[in-house]
Amino acid sequence: MKFATAAIHAGQEKEPRTGAVIPPIFQNSTYAQTAPGEHTGYEYGRTQNPTREAMEKNIAALESGTHGFAFSSGLAAISTISQLFQQGDHIIATENVYGGTYRYFTQVIGKFGLNFSWVDTSDLQNIKNALTTTTKMIFIETPTNPMLVLSDLADIAIFCREQQILLAVDNTFLSPYFQRPLELGADIVVHSTTKYLNGHSDVIGGIIVVKDETLAEKFSFLQNSVGAVPGPFDAWLVLRSLKTLPLRMQAHAKNAGKIAAFLSDHPAFETVSYPDLPSHPQYELAQKQHRSSDGKSGSAGMVTCIVDSFEKAQNILCKLRIFTLAESLGGVESLVCHPASMTHASVPPEMRAKIGLSDGLIRFSVGVEDADDLLQDIAQALEGV
What residue ranges bind ligand P1T (CB under 6 A)?
A: 73-75, 98, 100-101, 141, 145, 170, 172-173, 192, 194, 204, 206, 327-329, 343
Contact 309, 360 (CB under 8 A): yes
Measure CA of the first residue to CA of the last residue in the chain; give whole Å.
Answer: 50
Residues 6+ apart with CB under 8 A from 126: 119, 120
Query: Looking at beta carbons only, is 24 or 110 nearer to ligand P1T?
Result: 110
Distance between CA atoms of 329 and 145, rounded to whole angstroms? Answer: 10
Q: Strands (DSSP E) along 295-377, which ranges?
A: 302-306, 324-325, 335-337, 361-365
Q: How many residues does the chain have?
A: 385
Q: C-beta of 205: minimal distance to ligand P1T in Å?
A: 6
Distance between CA atoms of 253 and 259, rounded to whole angstroms? Answer: 10
How many CA atoms does the CB half-sphere of 279 hold within 13 Å? 12
Query: Looking at beta carbons only, is 89 or 327 nearer to ligand P1T?
Result: 327
Residues with a catalytic annotation lie at 46, 98, 170, 195
Q: C-beta of 203: minimal distance to ligand P1T in Å?
A: 9
The helix (run of H) or strand (run of E) holding residue 169 is strand 166-170
Q: C-beta of 75: minimal distance to ligand P1T in Å?
A: 4
Residues 6+ apart with CB under 8 A from 256: 274, 276, 299, 300, 301, 302, 303, 364, 366
Query: Looking at beta carbons only, is 124 or 228 nearer to ligand P1T?
Result: 228
Query: Looking at beta carbons only, is 6 or 337 nearer to ligand P1T?
Result: 337
Q: C-beta of 328: minimal distance to ligand P1T in Å?
A: 4
Distance between CA atoms of 210 and 219, rounded to whole angstroms? Answer: 9
Q: C-beta of 275: minimal distance to ligand P1T in Å?
A: 15
Contact 157, 186 (CB under 8 A): yes
Query: Looking at beta carbons only, is 12 or 343 nearer to ligand P1T?
Result: 343
